[in-house]
Amino acid sequence: MFSFASSRRVPLAWLALAGAWLLTGSTALAATPDAAQRVAFKQAYAVAQQGGDGWRQLAGNLHDYPLYPYLAAAALQHDIQQVDRATVEAYLAQYPDWIPAADLRRAFLLELARRQDWSGFLALYQPGLGDTLSCDALQAKLAGGGKLDFQRDLAELWTRANLPGACDPVLDAAHDQGLLTDARLWTRIDRAADAGQAGTIASLASWLPASEQPAAQQLATALRDPAAAIADATNWPDGTRQRHAVTLALTRLARRQSDSADAAWQQLQSRFTLSEAQRNRILQTLALFRATDFDDDALARLIALPAAAQTDSTREWRVRVALARQDWSAALAGIDAMPASQQQDGEWQYFRGRALAALGRADEARRQFAEQADQPTFFGFMSADRLDQPYAICPLTLADDPQREQQLLAMPGLVRAFELYAVDLPKLARREWTRALQGSDVATQRIAADMANRRGWYDRAVFTLSSGDALRLYDLRFPLASQDGLVPQAEQAGIEPAWAYGILRAESAWMSDAHSGADARGLMQLLPETAARVASRNGLDWAGGDSLYDPATNIALGTRYLAQMAARFNGSPWLASTAYNAGPNKVDQWLAARGTLPTDLFVASIPYKETREYVARVMAFSVIYDWRLDGHSVVPLATRMDAIGQPYSLPGNGTPRRKVSCPAPTTTPTTAPAGAASVSR
């Protein structure tokens, strides 16, 4: 084990730096950054991230640069296993409120815990640094001979469905002290079961009495392998825990195999004395996933659900199944059965109009469409198309406020945020931005977003201007960013620039360093392997996955991939958008099942909520970007939402365009409409 004494093997240069930090801290924000300093900082920061003090040779003229303390912190982070406490404490004392100081404290505390230097750990520890360090602090307490108190030390941690490995020794000690009573164990097991944490249940089961361990294992099996749990359930007693396990197993299996779950329910419902809430949960889940599979009995089962088993999701899918069948009376009845708040959603207002029109109630349909047609949303635009009237887009311009801008530029945190973005460290920039503007008023946030936008930091406006009349700041919320070359790249790829902009905006909200859990990267969220194939196919340069964080590279490859998706679906932008999100094979499956539907009904029948909302968002964004590019009119959304199987032709000079106007009085949503794909991010 790395002892605290051995950890003092650190270059003396670090100790000298502690004094240097004290001299430079007061001037770190004094100078106005220039291009030469930014180049020097980027070079020094790259060296600092490799550890040691070599960065100092490159930072000789950076002592008054706003980000200078980030250099030392980066080097210390790299050398964390060799750095001693005195060096860290010197940095923390000089920059107590800096983000890199907080990161350094956390990293060094983790290192001290690894060394089991508990006295040093307690000297630097502060509460509120996360569960891992909370448990490390309890380990430090135990190492000093202390005892645990459940209410004081463990009660909050015990509410977690899952805990990090650092908590295992603490829980072991709590068990040895007799603090983990059977009642407390079951409380956490039940919480873990509802959260789907089978591993937590398995780890706690061994501390239960032998007679109760099988019930816990049954819960874990219900989560891990619901089919196996259901097969075993015929041999289970009709106990409280077994009823919980059966409910979990049936509802989880229904998501994967609705037919198998339904057959199991028919067999087991008389075997267990389930509560009304458990029965309703099972009935609700079975009906919902029979609906997403569009089974023949789906509509009848959704209608037959007990009132207590109905949710917004089951009521919504009652309408979606009816729409997929083009059963307009059933669709209208389903919308009428929704609570008033759900009926006000733009999607259901639009489909009420569609149902009324299909049932021959034309005047009512026109009134219904008119209620939506003044909204800059997917369903608002679709409603305007039904009425053949101009789109309602009412731009707002942010007034200049030089005095407030100067006040903001006097905020050290915001200066650091702008500088971090300027030197290509956007993740750190966002953290400084969030801290600097925390608690600020709406006017301040809007001006800061405008200042960021002028610096090419577009995502700040997208995330900041998301409610009230700020939704009308289209020039900020839908930037064109001509320097990244989207328009010429889209034209070279043979696709509409407005559509490409819509995809980009929906995928990353203009965060050039966006990185998904699936490893999709950059503005248009491309997977490295996909990008490599696109580059090869189109004769474009490929410099590896990290090159996707370069906007120009990402856009060049993303537009070609969009063109590839479009070509697969007769050029259709909305179907290609569907494939971009859900994958082309899924789209092929949905087309095989429901490809004869009108376009709007097909979108409504997409089983994945994420994909339905994505398509609506992209197509609405395409309208707004078309207007941004043209300035006066747009290609109607109905033109872009071409019929399935019909070849799509790119708009040209002869393509009819719809006017854009600002009706008076203007009705502006106070928040971005949920699922409406208006101007939400």
CA distance readout (Å), 253 to 40, 191, 262, 416, 495: 58, 20, 9, 50, 42
Which residue did the predictor score with more confidence, 31 or 556? 556
Q: How confident is the model at residue 555 (pLDDT cuts 50, 70, 90)?
A: very high
Q: What is the pLDDT of residue 663?
A: 83
Q: Which of 214, 105, 208, 197 is nearest to 160 (CA)?
A: 197
Q: What is the pLDDT of residue 352?
A: 98
Q: Which of 492, 553, 479, 487 is nearest to 523 (CA)?
A: 553
pLDDT digits (tens, 9 = 90+) for 625-643: 999 999 999 999 999 999 9
CB contact at 8 A, 192 and 201:
yes
| Token output for 401 | 């406020």
Q: How confident is the model at residue 14 (pLDDT cuts 50, 70, 90)?
A: very low
| Arithmetic mean of pLDDT, 548-569 | 97
CB atoms within 10 A of CB 97: 9
Q: What is the pLDDT of residue 5?
A: 33
3-state SS track over 290-303: HHHCCCCCHHHHHH
Q: Helices then strands (H, E): number in the chain?
A: 38, 3
| Arithmetic mean of pLDDT, 96-114 | 97
Q: What is the pLDDT of residue 666?
A: 44
| Arithmetic mean of pLDDT, 410-418 | 97
pLDDT averaged over every residue in the chain: 92
Task: For residues 208 and 34, give the distance between their C-alpha atoms in angstroms, rounded to a whole number.
Answer: 65
Question: In the chain, pLDDT over 90 holds for what percent of residues?
Answer: 92
| Arithmetic mean of pLDDT, 605-631 | 97
| Token output for 285 | 């889940």
Helix (H) or strand (E) holding 661: strand 658-661
User: Is 425's pLDDT higher than 80?
Assistant: yes
| Arithmetic mean of pLDDT, 407-427 | 97
Give residue 395's region: left, alpha or beta (phi > 0; psi -120 to 50).
beta
Strands 658-661 and 391-392: parallel
Give residue 146's region: left, alpha or beta (phi > 0; psi -120 to 50).
beta
User: Is 655's pLDDT higher than 70?
Assistant: yes
Which residue did the predictor score with more confidence, 680 or 249? 249
pLDDT digits (tens, 9 = 90+) for 231-258: 999 999 999 999 999 999 999 999 999 9
Q: What is the pLDDT of residue 350?
A: 98
Task: For residues 500 and 488, give the distance between their C-alpha atoms in angstroms, rounded to a whole number.
Answer: 11
**Cα end-to-end distance, the chain, whole Å:** 49
pLDDT digits (tens, 9 = 90+) for 347-362: 999 999 999 999 999 9
DSSP state for residue 521 in the 8-state scheme: B
CB-based burial, 160-173: b 16+ in 10 Å, e otherwise = bbebeebbeebbeb
Strands 391-392 and 633-634: unpaired
Q: How confident is the model at residue 678 (pLDDT cuts 50, 70, 90)?
A: very low
| Arithmetic mean of pLDDT, 303-321 | 97
Longest dimension (CA), the chain: 87
CB contact at 8 A, 526 and 548:
yes
